[in-house]
Amino acid sequence: ADHFGVPYCLTEEFTIVYRMHPLIPDEYSFRSADDGRPMLDRTLREISGPHSEETLQQVSMADAFYTFGTSYPGAIILNNFPRFLQHFERPDGNFMDLAATDIMRTRELGVPRYNQFRKLLHLPPASSFEELAGDPALAEKIRRVYNNDIDRVDLIVGMFAEKRPQGFAFSETAFRIFILMASRRLNSDRFLTEDFTPEVYTQAGMDWIRDNTMSTVLLRHYPHLRSALRGVDNAFTPWPNTIV
């Protein structure tokens, strides 16, 4: 679709701010959906790729969903990148540091550094490392990496260091891109706009969309989760008994 004279596409800026690997914890404690008791402790390496099937032979899908529903993701901040992804073995046997790769891709694709990116969004740039990081020790670490040049700070580093608005899980800089791209994605999808009709979906389909949530989908497949989801309005938020 063409909105405001600009053809729709997923921009490089969007793909960069979407690099949120710190959300992925390094360690997982699988717990029973019956009573919350610990069942199995695993690292990210031990549940990734082909190892995921090995884990699910020991833990039921209901227990796995209960575990994920009652566990917080990692914070999107500096010094919280999954260790496993910093030494990630690809299917071809080669190793890569995904944290370094994220920064390299940002530079190769021509996405501006943090301060310039902020300026292009009509946001004030960081005037100092202390203003950016808010923590003297972290500010000094970033200063050393970038040779005391605040304008050289990479976009990802700046966004992870940036103080987040109250209630936000990620930076305001990332939010500006998300709010733009999310609305454009919705407006550009005919199945969510002009074709969101009973003629396309059927009335039964429209009723299904109206009457269902993530909770009802989970309960349809895993009714064992009913007690865990009781009183949960939004299954994408932490469920009761979430471990902090």
The parent domain of residue 211 ranges over 201-228
Q: What is the pLDDT of residue 116?
A: 98
Pairing label, strands 2-3, 6-7: antiparallel
- Minimal CA–CA distance to 226: which of 33, 37, 29? 33
Q: Is residue 214 part of a domain?
A: yes
Query: Does residue 200 register a pLDDT over 80?
Result: yes
Q: What is the pLDDT of residue 233?
A: 87
Query: Structure pTM?
Result: 0.88
Q: Please, which pLDDT band fits residue 3 given cuts at 50, 70 and 90? A: confident
**114 included as an active-site residue:** no
Q: What is the pLDDT of residue 1?
A: 61
Q: Is residue 224 part of a domain?
A: yes
Q: What is the pLDDT of residue 98?
A: 96
Catalytic residue among 18, 66, 72, 114: 18
Four-point Cα dihedral 121, 126, 129, 133, nearest 10: -60
Q: Percent of the chain scored above 90 by pLDDT?
A: 84
Q: Which helix (H) or strand (E) holds 138?
A: helix 136-145
Strands (E), the chain: 2-3, 6-7, 27-31, 38-43, 88-89, 95-96
Query: Does residue 206 register a pLDDT over 70?
Result: yes
Q: Is residue 215 part of a domain?
A: yes
Q: What is the pLDDT of residue 68?
A: 94
Q: Which residues contact 33 (CB under 8 A, 6 or more apart)?
A: 60, 62, 63, 65, 66, 224, 225, 227, 228
User: Is the dihedral angle over the CA atoms 33, 37, 42, 43 positive or is it negative?
Assistant: positive
List phi, psi (to 5°) of 14: -65, -45
The Cα–Cα gap between 170 and 156 comes to: 11
Q: Is residue 206 part of a domain?
A: yes
Q: What is the pLDDT of residue 6?
A: 78
- Mind listing the pLDDT tens digit for each residue in 124-166? 999 999 999 999 999 999 999 999 999 999 999 999 999 999 9
Average pLDDT over all residues of the chain:
93
Q: Is residue 237 part of a domain?
A: no
Query: Does residue 2 register a pLDDT over 80?
Result: no
Query: Does residue 13 register a pLDDT over 80?
Result: yes
Q: Is residue 7 part of a domain?
A: no
Q: Is residue 76 part of a domain?
A: no
Q: What is the pLDDT of residue 213?
A: 95
- Mind listing the pLDDT tens digit for each residue in 61-120? 999 999 999 999 999 999 999 999 999 988 888 999 999 999 999 999 999 999 999 999
Task: Please name every residue paired with 243 in a beta bridge, in sequence order, or none if there are none.
Answer: 71
The Cα–Cα gap between 185 and 101 comes to: 27
- Domain count of the chain? 1
